[in-house]
Chains A and B, each alone.
Chain A
Amino acid sequence: MKKIVCMVIAVALIFTLAAFPVSCSRLDTVENLEGDYTGLEGTTLYVMNWGEYISDGSEGSLDVVKAFEKVSGIRVIYDDSTPSNEAMYAKLKSGAVAVDVVIPSDYMIQRMINEDMLQTVDTSKIPNYKYILDDYKNLYFDPQNQYSVPYTIGMVGIIYNTTLVEGTPDSWDILWNEAYRNNILSFNNPRDGFATAQFLLGQDINNTDKALWDAAADKLKEQTPILQGRVMDEVFNKMEGGNAAVAPYYAGDFFLMKDVNEDLDFFYPKEGTNIFVDSMCIPKSASNYEGALMFINFMLEVEVALANAEYISYASPHTGVRNHEDYSLKDSQILYPDEAHKPRTQYYHDLDPEIRAYYEKLWEEIIR
């Protein structure tokens, strides 16, 4: 009897599977391509990017990597397992991998240029480079636009739960407010962590004065007793679930949290905040330079850039996206604040090794 029941169930299962033919035919074609994607069929391209940092076909979005493979015939090895700029740097420095495209942040690009780890990017072979806004050209880390092609722009702000926070906060000092004891989250990495105190103290976040770093460290130690925790990605769960009242994080990510929890709101602190640009670069170790240029050009196709901007919800440096009628975030005051609401911003610069070692040591003391 038991056997018969099992058989019936198994057969039933097979039929249900057959009744629903694999219906996830993913969106992997781009209609209006401007570039030429022929000539490199059969080659391989190694792309290193951050997690959740490209439109990947989930929830009806465009599968960018697959679309590129389809149109170019290039096989893409896509690696998004690297957690941070520092870890990416270590991987490239070790020479264990030959990466063709990486997307580091500004200060890391500066460091990699200084250490001769990047190739020049021949923008004459990237016709879609014309879409890049002038505001994001000639930035401090790459003054001649030789090494990098901007991909996304982000700013740090403070996310807060309106049911737990009184009034409309506007300053970093909310992270030191005793009233929210045990309800405050902060960054669990030295650079972003220090910046919260540095802005509050009115410091330059790239200063090289050890006494100023000491002062910022003292400020952070003062905060420790009222902190609920120092987190990175966990912030999504915690803010979405109403587990904490305030947390500083990256503006684009706020939209993802807001989708889950309507009570969340966001502001840029009046003392100023960090702005960063993540750009596409080609490391010296690249083995498919032409393929890398092709991929970067593809990423700048209007439709592709739009899909990415929607998916990642960070600000886009792409004129074709900013003006696109289908772009749902184009009027967002958070991503694209008008002159009146623009926060004062500073970029992180790559600091010299001595200062870096100094603040890292201070950070160790703070978190232990």
Chain B
Amino acid sequence: MKKSTNVFLNAPYVVWAGIFVVVPLFIVLVYAFTDANGNFSFDSIIALKDYWNNFLLSLLYSLVATVVTLIIAYPFAYALSKTPAKTQKIQMMLVMLPMWMNLLIRTYSWMNILDQNGIINQILLSMKLKPVTFLGTPGAVIFGMVYNYLPYMILPIYTVMAKMDNSLVEAARDLGCNGFNVWRKLILPLSMPGVISGITMVFVPSVSTFYISQKLGNGKIMLIGDTIERQMQALNNYNLGAALSLVLMILILVSMFIMNRFADSTGEGGVVV
């Protein structure tokens, strides 16, 4: 293709990204390094030091959620890719089904299911068992993340698994490789691109979430997303909000960069930064 055609084809997206990605990023940058009166200042950047435990908590929660999601999704995606084509379609639809509903509504429903007098506790009570406090615990927040983002992990892993050439597995078997080694030396490396985009697609929204922690954490678990939301909405402190967002973006960029290095070493680079 000629270079000029290329420019022409790219133009719509470049304009789009310029207006809706680059400019807003620049505005965040400006806010982060100014004070309320618009003068250049490091105040917000210095104030960040009060929030490092907030960042750490978010990282921890989203890491745990990502690992749990991976543990659930990986074997499922593999099994799914091995079932007959017809049931695959139905199962895939079942995975996607919850995503037809809005994340906010799904999370709000879970709040009602898990509450002190919610459906689960009523069942426990009717079986003469002691009710359990779910909401406001780390477990509930991580559960919310896993529940909401699981399809994002299953999808990319399933896609690479389904594409995988089965004759490779047969060849390995013929040459005397045992089951575990087939997985370790063949399936795992080939499925890495899917795993990595899955991890990214679960980790990034988890680390920046505020709705899930607000509703399932009962306002007691403050992740960095909650803090940013509060600075922007309630406290009118756009400067600190922007500084926090900036750090969050850098964090995400760094983790994606590390991910990309993984992807490079295993062949196909699967992650979009």
Interface residues of B in 105-148 (CB under 8 A from A): 111-112, 115-118, 133, 135-136
Q: Determine if B116 and A243 form an interchain contact, defined as CB atoms under 8 angstroms apart.
A: yes
Query: Which residues of A lie under 8 Å from residue B218 when comparing CB positions?
Result: 228-231
User: Is residue A274 contacting chain B, with contact meaning CB distance below 8 A?
Assistant: no
* Structural contact, B115 and A367, CB atoms closer than 8 A: no
Which B residues from 191 to 225 make CB contacts under 8 A with A?
Answer: 215, 217-220, 222
- A90–B236 CB distance below 8 A: yes
| In the complex with contacts A227-B220, A243-B115, A360-B136 CB distance below 8 A | no
Say yes or no for A202: interface residue by CB 8 A criterion.
Answer: no
Residue B258 at the chain A interface, CB threshold 8 Å: no
Known: A242-B117, A243-B117. A86 touches B219 (CB 8 A): no
The reply to whether A230 and B118 form a contact with Cβ atoms under 8 Å apart is no
> Of A37-45, A181-189, A277-285, which binds chain B?
A181-189
- Which chain B residue lies CB-closest to A190? B234
B54 part of interface (Cβ distance < 8 Å): yes
Residue A59 at the B interface, CB < 8 A?
Answer: no
Q: B234 is contacted by which of A84, A182, A242 (Cβ under 8 Å)?
A: A84
Residues of A within 8 A of B116 (CB): 182-183, 228, 238, 242-244
Across the interface, do B117 and A228 meet the contact criterion of CB distance under 8 Å? no
Closest to A90 in B: B236
CB pair A86 B235 closer than 8 Å:
yes
A249 to chain B, nearest CB (A): 14
Contact assessment for B222 and A367 in the assembled complex, using a CB-CB cutoff below 8 Å: yes
Complex interface: chain B residues within 8 A of A224 (CB): 220
Q: How far is the CA of A188 from the CA of B233 in the complex (A)?
A: 13
Residue-by-residue, is A48-60 near B (CB-CB < 8 Å gives 1, otherwise 0)?
0000000000000
Residues 27-48 of chain A: 1 if any B CB is under 8 Å from the residue's CB, otherwise 0? 0000000000000000000000
From A86, A243, A367, contact of B236 by CB (8 A): A86
Q: How far is the CA of A292 from the CA of B226 in the complex (A)?
A: 36
Report yes or no: A238 in contact with B115, Cβ–Cβ below 8 A. Answer: yes
Interface: A368 (CB within 8 A): yes
Considering the complex, which residues of chain B in the window 146-192 have a beta carbon less than 8 Å from any beta carbon of chain A?
A: none
| A247 CB → nearest B CB, Å | 12
Given contact pairs A227-B220, A229-B136, A230-B220, A241 touches B112 in the complex (Cβ within 8 A): yes
Q: How far is the CA of A84 from the CA of B232 in the complex (A)?
A: 12
Query: Which residues from B are CB-within-8-Å of A230?
Result: 218-220
Determine the distance from Cα of A230 to Cα of B220 in the docked complex, in whole angstroms: 7
> Across the interface, which residues of B come within 8 angstroms of A86, CB to CB?
233-236
Contact A241 B117 (CB under 8 A): yes
Smallest beta-carbon distance A191→chain B, Å: 10
A-B contacts at CB below 8 angstroms, number: 64
What residues of chain A lie closer than 8 Å to B215, measured between beta carbons? 234
**When the two chains form their complex, are residues A189 and B234 in contact, meaning their CB atoms are under 8 A apart?**
yes
Q: Say whether, besides A182-B133, A244-B116, A368-B54, A360 and B219 are in contact (CB < 8 Å).
A: no
Q: Size class of A's contact patch?
A: 20 to 34
Chain B residues whose CB sits within 8 angstroms of the CB of A183 once the complex forms:
116
Q: Is the CB of A360 within 8 A of B233?
A: no
Q: Is A237 an interface residue (CB 8 A)?
A: yes
Give the distance to chain A from B110, nearest Cβ to Cβ, in Å: 12
| Cross-chain contact B111 with A188 (CB below 8 angstroms) | no
A231 and B115 in contact, given A86-B236, A360-B235 (Cβ under 8 angstroms): no
Q: How close is B23's CB to chain A, nearest CB, in angstroms?
A: 15
Chain B residues, Cβ within 8 Å of A368: 53-54, 222, 227
Residues of A317-368 at the interface with B, using a CB-CB cut-off of 8 Å, are 360, 364, 367-368
B234 touches A229 (CB 8 A): no
Q: How far is it, in angstroms, between the C-alpha of A87 and the C-alpha of B236 when the chains are bound?
A: 7
A229 touching B135 by the CB < 8 A rule?
yes
**A89 interface hit (Cβ, 8 Å):** yes
Expressed in whole angstroms, the Cα–Cα distance for A348 and B44 within the complex equals 28
A83 touches B (CB below 8 Å): yes
Residues of chain A lying within 8 A (CB to CB) of residue B217: 229
- Output the least CB separation between A34 and chain B (Å): 40
What is the CA–CA distance of A87 and B133 in the complex, to the nearest angstrom?
Answer: 33
Determine the residue in chain B with the shortest Cβ distance to A185. Answer: B218
CA distance A285 to B225 in the complex (A): 32
In the complex, A190→B111 CA distance in Å?
23
Q: How far is the CA of A90 from the CA of B227 in the complex (A)?
A: 17
Nearest-Cβ distance from residue A93 to partner chain B, whole angstroms:
8
Docked Cα-Cα span, A38 to B40, in Å, equals 51
Contact with A along B26-67 (1 / 0, CB 8 A): 000000000000000000000000100110000000000000
Residues of B within 8 A of A242 (CB): 116-117
Interface centre among B136, B215, B218 (most CB of A within 10 A): B218
Closest A residue by C-beta to B218: A229
Given known contacts A241-B112, A243-B117, A368-B222, is B236 in contact with A89 (CB within 8 Å)? Answer: yes
- Write out, one digit per residue, whether chain A residues 233-258 have a CB within 8 A of any chain B CB (1) or not (0): 01001100111100000000000000
Closest Cβ neighbor of B226 among chain A residues: A367
State the CA gap A182–B115 with chains docked (Å): 11
- B54 cross-chain contacts in A, Cβ below 8 A: 368
List chain B positions with a Cβ less than 8 A from chain A.
50, 53-54, 111-112, 115-118, 133, 135-136, 215, 217-220, 222, 227, 233-236, 238
Given A229-B217, A231-B219, A237-B111, 5 more A-B residue pairs with CB atoms under 8 Å apart are A90-B236, A230-B220, A234-B215, A238-B115, A241-B118
List the 3 closest A-B pairs by CB distance, nearest first.
A229-B218, A230-B219, A243-B115
Cross-chain pairs A/B with CB under 8 angstroms, 19 sampled? A83-B233, A87-B234, A89-B236, A90-B238, A227-B220, A228-B133, A229-B218, A230-B218, A234-B111, A237-B111, A238-B115, A238-B116, A241-B118, A243-B117, A244-B116, A360-B235, A364-B227, A367-B220, A368-B222
